[in-house]
Structures are given as C-alpha cells and as structure tokens.
Amino acid sequence: MSTASSAPTRQLPVAVGERPVVAVKGWAALGAAVLAFQLFVLVRWISGPYFKSVDPGPTPLPGWMKVALTFWQIVLPIAGLVILYRFVIRPWWRERRIGLDGLMVVAFLVLSFDDPLSAYIGHWYTYNAWQVNMGSWVNSLPGALTPGTPTHQVAYPLLIVPGAYMVIFLLVTMMGATIMRRAKARWPGIPRLGLAAICFAVMVPFDIVFEGIVFMPMGSWEYPGGHVKIFAGTYHAYPLNEALTTGLIFTMFACIKYFTNDRGQSLAERGAEQLGGGPVRVTAVRALAVIGLVTLAMTVGYTIPNTWFGAHSTAWNRDIQTRSYLTYTCGEGAGIACPAPDIPLLRNDNRDQGANGRDFGRDYPPQFRYNRG
C-alpha cells in the first residue's frame, strides 16, 4: 500500500520539473537560430557590395539638426555601454549571475538588428544619411524585395539604434512594469489581460509624445510612408501605425519583465537552473531564451505589421522629398518616384527595372528636386 501511495509522490516533481526544462530549451533554440540568422546576414552584408556609406546629398542640414544628431551619436553609445556594465558585466563579475533586466539589455542589443527589417518589401521609413552609416543589411536579407543599390539604400545609423534600443527600451520596459504593478495594487482583482491593456493605453500616447513630438523633429529617422499621420505636411510626419505597433511591443516587453515567477524568471527562462553545467551554461541558455522571446515579440508586434504598411506606403510629402539626407532610396538621387498609392511596387529582383530602376525611373520619375540651399 505504501508503494502505491508513494509512487505518484515520486513522479509528480519530475513531471512538473520537465515541462519548464523543455520550454527553456525551445526558447533557447529560437534564440540561437536568431543569432545564427543574424550572423549569416551580417557576414553577407559586410562581404558584399552593400557595405557602403550612403551620402547625405546636396541638401544642407540645419545647424541645430547637426548639433542634435552629433549629441545623440555621442551620448547613446556611451549610455548603452553604461547600461551594459550596470546590468550585465558588473552582476556577472560580482555574482556570476545576470538578472532579467541584464538579459533583456542583451536581447535589446541583439534586437537592434531588426530595426530596419520592416523595409523588406518596400520603403516606408527613412534614416538620416548624415549620421554615421555603412548602408544596411536590408538588401542582404534572403529574398528581400525592397529596391536599393549600394549608393541608394537604407542608411542604418550605427551610433544611434543599438544604444537607443538598450537604453530607451530598458527604461520603457521598467516603466511599463511599474505601471502594471501600481495598477495591480490599486485593483487587486484585475486580470493579466487588464493589466496589459492599461500598459498599452499608456504606451501608445507615450510614444506619440516621445517619438512623434520630441524626437522625430530632430531628424534622426522619419516615417514618410506611414498611415494616418500627425504633422502630415512636414518631414517629421508621425503615423498612427507606428504608435500602435511601438505601443504594442513596449507592452509586450513590460509583460516579459512583470509576469515572472517567484524566482524572478520570465516565461522563457524558467527551468534553466535544472539543466546543470554551472553558471556559464545556465546563463547562456537563459540569455538565448530571452533573446528568442524578445525577438518573437518584436517580429509579431512590429516587424510583420509594418512590413505590410511598407508594402502599402502612403505618398511621401514634398517636404521630405526635397531633403536629400532623408530621401535617397527614391527621389532625385535614386532617379525614381517615391512610394505612393499610384506608384507600382518596385522590386529589387527585377534587375535594371528593380535594383537600379533605370527603366522604372523613365516611367515613374522623381516628383521633386532636392533643395540645394
């Protein structure tokens, strides 16, 4: 009798313990696949013709814009290094362990690779080519359709995006977790979905103010092809699809941080401590798992929907098309019309009609000439 009653007791912990171990292995495998894919694309980019700086063209930048962009290209890399030291390097040196915040910092740094990917089919955003750049890996992605040549391609700002992802994304994630914590204290019976909805309701207007009103007028990046815009006639027009998708991923990141178990572990990393192999192996598995979860959130919440918007770009306005440092994938410099509902999609795999656009440009020429001061 004792054997019959004790058998379930011995089996239950094993069954319960195996489930999170299997889950963390799956999330870590996804994270490893993400890193392998990024490595493949980056090697293809660096060794190919698209590893080339995009020239900002003849339009002079306002002096205040140069000051602002120089400031951020200095501050954000430094701030990113400080964040890496504070949340990743120092905890590892002292405790041989990295907390969830540190793992998310690593994941956000990896995630900065994804920032330009929504231009996979067509251009709807643009970076300022005056910033330090070596083009981008968009046209090095397997199967990428968006038009681009080495001199007229997406100009990824190397000193802006990685630091911004580590610093801003971490701070916003902390803010979102705090919002949900206070909401839970105010309404103890509120379900998880209700907490996420409250967070989302804050994140959307936050991004409208932070990105659309404060940051975008500085000219580091713009969304000329977005949908339902404020400041619609200006170079810094801000679209509603950016507010909704950015608010969504900010909410997802906050949920990853807030909804943890009693050990402070996120959904992806639970069970890593059962794998054995010492702190290096456990931390590596946890980091890969969080990278996998964060990248999945970004892909579902931002990249996929905005790739659709990129394929259905609205018309780029005159103000941005006359600025060569913002309009270089189309317009006068590239010799082709910028995206609009009445402009056919130009595919990068159509040779002269696509990547170089000579035939396309004859039928659909640029609408405006650059402002040369």
CA–CA distances in Å: residue 368 to residues 276, 314, 327, 330: 63, 16, 11, 11
Q: Say if residue 341's pLDDT is above 90.
A: yes
Residue ranges of domains in the chain: 10-175+215-239+251-363
The number of beta carbons lying within 10 Å of the beta carbon of residue 138 is 23
Percentage of the chain with pLDDT > 70?
92
Both tokens of 328, joined, read 């270089």
Closest C-alpha among 337, 331, 335, 346 to residue 364? 337
Q: Which residues have a Cβ under 8 Å from the Cβ of 361 and sit 6 or more positions away?
A: 334, 335, 336, 337
Predicted pLDDT at 3: 39
Residue 289 has pLDDT above 80, yes or no: yes
Confidence of residue 291 (pLDDT cuts 50, 70, 90): very high
d(C-alpha 135, C-alpha 45), whole Å: 9
Q: For the whole model, what pTM was predicted?
A: 0.92
* Contacts of 26 by beta carbon, 8 Å cutoff, 6+ apart: none
pLDDT band at 19 (very low <50, low <70, confident <90, very high): low
Of 34-38, 129-133, 259-263, the poorest mean pLDDT is in 259-263
Cβ(114)–Cβ(154) below 8 Å: no
Pairing of strands 238-239, 126-127: unpaired
